[in-house]
Structure 1
């Protein structure tokens, strides 16, 4: 039985059976899923050590030695537990307002991130998880949820790298008249404000179609996740529950209700979420499904990447600096390294490990996003399926910047950058565009992948001047500057002659996945197009290409 919207969760929970823990194994962590387990082993040895990630839900996970209900769940040891913005109390049951703190759903989500169990390990078992429950939907709302998120973002010495949202708010509960997914719900504004101010990547369980809990999936600065099911034993097909407006009979009805307005993309990534083996607070294994369980794969992947980045910083590795922690860089790396089409061994599909299919059995090359400059991501597939090992390979390549105007430094076939462009007249130090010229010629018929991300500017109307969100405060949406992304032959200066372009006027992501028409030298250009707020716009960029083979 598929249960929709239970307790306000976005998750579609499909419970088959409760079994002793050793009877189930989790394949979503391995090669058939997000391919994270290899990074736990030598020579990588990445488990998320000393990296803080967060979780906000209606309830919170249990903790062994703290909550009686979790006495058998010894491999789940969250670093900090809260009820909203206050320390949690031990398994106290009812809070006096009909709320229970320890929650099975939150515990299962947390197990995907930080479980240390040998049979059912999490993506980042060494990470520090800070979790806040906001209480039942009858006694909480977007203000309390924003306050809890703000509190989690301030943990670990104000150094939390990603926060998981496996819950959401219904538009029916939003106090705005005729509320729609226009990016202006309080919780959505809160997510975009906090992402920028606290430099944290919010990962949100994405749109599951009619009946879902869509707020804050209309955010700009986070990552929205849909869920995949097994196909021939591999997580590579978008589950039918992720309708996302693809079906013509319901698409027009969902605009503004289950899909973002103005043709903005609702999904960034896909991750496993169908029939997963998860751990209950009592230590038992259960099988569940939903985007609630896809999102934490992405959140915990951030911890693995950030452990690697911090390791490079600690070793004073040349070319590595603190911008490696920027949420824009992490987002660009995750999206750009996602699987779309399985490589045939010649590198043309950039060593991708699976072919992702939408509900109709179509690949990314058959999607409306392919070849459409104003549509950077697919409606239900986003940029593709999370592959943590490929994300590691993308991130490990390191940062390579460019000079003002025409590029003065060439870049390798794979890498990333954190930089800025500006409106014309802002000065030579902040050019209108930056060019990334590839050191080697690209191979004909191979594919190039490049992803550009930047933030919407949301500011807190801080009534008491304490720099934190407090109940009763609001946000000001200052809008989104417009950046564009182009692939050009190296000698070309006019973007009108671009080989390919990503020029969405409404999204905060531009994405190129394009076949190189002929061997030769190329460059990627990031260009400032239109100003909505400030004249200078920081961005994160990641690229992956196939150099011409001898």
Structure 2
């Protein structure tokens, strides 16, 4: 019997038209504060999800290509349209462009590679996802964003992720929504529970831990995941909740961090070095590490951490173990 991965369960709060604002989640992680330094230009983010509304006015100029690995549209690889809404919402949080209307993403000049691995029902075979990861590697993605998961630890999926990381691709995954609000219990969803990925839990817009967010020792960071406004189907907008909404905040943040760090250090950085740069841009919220990992992604670097950009760090290898 075939096993399936699904979109991390999420809740649609509302659908909207005629929006013009910077979403509060984007503001909470301090993205607008560093747009004068970087907006992620040239960074390629592969979004493995339900596809994307490629005609959405906030996204159409950010999409550089993609491929369909699902059974939607008769399996046509060139049709990666979103019939679900989940993938379009994720894409908007990462890189909705700055166009004086709608919303704006964390990295509004990053490029989106649409890798459709979940069908209109939000379900995908492991083979589709594994093939999608290898496609992202072939396309030389800088970041892979996956707001999907399942209960099974599948070795072939794990191996594909290891290969991506070995190619210095940052792999960001939603931690999962099976949490019970009790940090003494562990809830695991894969691929979010793999050590090699950056596992993202959820907080609300008041910085409180979300009741639904998974708790375990593999959670790396948290980001806003409740009442998140972003792009949706048919050129519209929607407010959704779930760790699916948290992960793309971090994917976008990493696009900004990588672009800025490469220019600052004047060399390419390895995946562990980039992970270290992310962790340096977190603040603890006072929750258990099993709920928040290293804390909330917070892109403005505190004064006492500004030394990380000193000349001495340009040639030093940062040895980071997840």
TM range (shorter): 0.7 to 0.9
Matching of residue 110 in structure 1 with residue 81 in structure 2: no
Q: Quote how far apart the aligned CAs of 1:21 are.
A: 3.1
Contact 2:58 2:96 in 1 (8 A): no
Matching of residue 187 in structure 1 with residue 157 in structure 2: yes
Q: Quote how far apart the aligned CAs of 1:193 are.
A: 2.5
Contact 1:63 1:73 in 2 (8 A): no
Bigger share in helix? 2
Contact 2:193 2:219 in 1 (8 A): no
Which is further off, 298-307 or 139-148?
Answer: 139-148
TM, length-normalised to structure 2: 0.83
Other-structure match for 1:82? 67
Distance 1:299 1:283, change over 3 A: same
Q: Quote how far apart the aligned CAs of 1:217 are.
A: 1.9
Q: Quote how far apart the aligned CAs of 1:152 are.
A: 1.1
Contact 1:11 1:166 in 2 (8 A): no
Q: Quick one: distance in 2 between partners of 1:23 and 1:123? A: 15
Matching of residue 53 in structure 1 with residue 64 in structure 2: no
Matching of residue 9 in structure 1 with residue 34 in structure 2: no
Q: Quote how far apart the aligned CAs of 1:296 are.
A: 0.8
Other-structure match for 2:317? 418
Other-structure match for 2:184? none
Residue aligned with 1:328, SS: helix
Q: Any stretches of 5+ residues in structure 2 without a counterpart? A: 181-186
Distance 1:23 1:301, change over 3 A: closer
Q: Quote how far apart the aligned CAs of 1:277 are.
A: 0.9
Other-structure match for 1:435? none
Contact 1:17 1:287 in 2 (8 A): yes
Q: Quick one: distance in 2 between partners of 1:384 and 1:138? A: 29
Distance 1:399 1:238, change over 3 A: farther
TM, length-normalised to structure 1: 0.51
Other-structure match for 2:277? 333
Other-structure match for 1:299? 251
- How many pairs does the alignment contain? 306
Q: Quick one: distance in 2 between partners of 1:416 and 1:297? A: 29
Q: Quick one: distance in 1 between partners of 2:133 and 2:209? A: 29
Q: Any stretches of 5+ residues in structure 1 without a counterpart? A: 1-6, 65-69, 86-91, 172-180, 245-258, 260-264, 313-319, 341-355, 357-362, 368-377, 402-414, 420-451, 455-508, 510-550
Distance 1:230 1:60, change over 3 A: same
Mapping of residues 312-391 of structure 1, within 5 Å: 312=264, 320-323=265-268, 325-340=269-284, 356=285, 363-364=286-287, 367=288, 378-390=289-301
Structure 1, residues 140-196: CA drift from partner, whole Å, max 9, x if none? 4222211111111221xx3x221101112332xxxxxxxxx5xx6321232123211
Other-structure match for 1:149? 133
Q: Quick one: distance in 2 between partners of 1:79 and 1:215? A: 28
Q: Quote how far apart the aligned CAs of 1:287 are.
A: 0.8
Residue aligned with 2:279, SS: helix
RMSD across aligned C-alpha pairs, in angstroms? 3.2
Contact 2:106 2:249 in 1 (8 A): yes
Q: Quick one: distance in 2 between partners of 1:302 and 1:141? A: 28
Contact 1:21 1:283 in 2 (8 A): no
Other-structure match for 1:122? 105
